[in-house]
Chain A
Amino acid sequence: MLTFLFWNTNGKPLVEAIVELVEEQSVDILILAECEVAPAKLLMALNRNVSLFYFAPGNSPRLVMFTKFPDRYVAPAFESDRVSIRRLALPARAEILLALVHFPSKLYWSEDSQMLECTVLAATIVDEERRAGHSRTVMIGDLNMNPFEKGMVGASGLHATMARTVAERASRVIQGNSYPFFYNPMWGHLGDWLERPPGSFYYERAEQVTYFWNTFDQVLVRPALLDRFRSKEVRIIDRVGGTSLAMLDGRPDGKNASDHFPLLFKIDL
């Protein structure tokens, strides 16, 4: 079982919080977006007691990765400014593809542009799956989109459905073209009904439509990995040890921590 942690740290020097979270949750693969801490500094902190972690560099400047195994097991397959696709090939285990993403913010990109960019990302992932010869793919990242947005749901976008039973169909055909599904467990993380954070990011604007809480930080899983993935083990985290990552009203504490909450999930490999 591998434990993954993704966190957009918003450029904050959150070394202590990251290390504590990694130790508390026994994280195996740490992925950070908007990390301004030098990889060496973070690596020293992660390995302060035992040298467990390795820096796994790629060429995407917006995403950094640390793993509890040498980086040769998580070699880059595709790299761009905002996307890093790695082939996670541990000895005697089935290879999987990890697609790490940090999409443009809604502050700078329209919803239409985000939606169209999703079609590019979806095609890139399919290309890499074809090259790898399998579709055991997990996508992780700050998508700056909610699970219900068109780029996330649309067939030629990420085609990420809320239900396993739908995703298990593997793909569907529209106008003669076949589109593979992702399963998106983050649909279950919209709102506060289970006394957990209502989302991973809060944004409020004086306009007619505002969602206040957004679930921008997401993990999507291809049908081929569904039997290795349990939705109930996906967690948006708002506390590290005795320290809250939220303000008193529950919103992410962007001043002392990050404006995003971390995302934790596990895959049985």
Chain B
Amino acid sequence: MPEEAADFWPELNSAKLRTPVLILKEQAALLGKHTKNLVVADVETYTYNDRFFHRFIIEARALSYRYELFRVSHDVMLYPLKLESGPNGKLLIGTSGFFNSEDEFVNWLKEVLNSGDTKRVLNTLLAQVEA
């Protein structure tokens, strides 16, 4: 019988991590209650080379309309998180385009979701859906 190999791997606990995609999905899931689900949000994830990309999408399903509010990416270490694109230049002001921690990212996200631009997008979509 061959001797059992020594196991060099550590104990793993992924449950403690609040990943950027989890934070985004939490916020996406909350939009519907403000719009009676007429306008909803979703997060689409894809990978390219060694990076994860997350698209934050606003959708009016009754209009078959999808709008990418912003896109972020990160490598396997999660942070720094890179802002790949936003709805317009204004959202990039005050950021270097990188978030070095969860706090930085959450503060930025709060600002973006509360911004006049985002509110205008949502109101416009709601008005069109209800028309």
Binding site for B on A (CB under 8 A): 38-40, 43-44, 47-48, 50-51, 53-57, 70-72
Contacts and interface: CB of A to CB of B under 8 A. Distances in A.
Given A44-B130, A55-B37, 9 more contacts: A39-B62, A40-B62, A44-B36, A51-B32, A53-B37, A54-B61, A55-B62, A56-B61, A72-B42
Contacts of A44: 36, 38, 130
B36 A43 contact: yes
Contacts of B33: 50-51
B64 interface: yes
Contacts of A47: 36-37
Nearest to B61: A55
Q: What 7 pairs across the A-B complex have the smallest Cβ distances?
A: A47-B36, A40-B62, A40-B129, A39-B62, A51-B33, A55-B61, A51-B37
A51 B62 CA distance: 15
A70 B42 contact: yes
Given A55-B61, A72-B42, A40 B130 contact: yes
Contact of A70 (B36, B40, B62): B40
Contacts of A55: 37, 61-62
Nearest to A41: B130
Interface of B: 32-33, 35-38, 40, 42, 61-62, 64, 129-130
Given A43-B37, A44-B38, A54 B32 contact: yes
Nearest to B35: A51
Contacts of A39: 61-62
A57 B62 CA distance: 7
A71 B35 contact: no
A70 B28 CA distance: 11
A40 to B, nearest CB: 4
A12 B33 CA distance: 28
Contacts of A71: 61
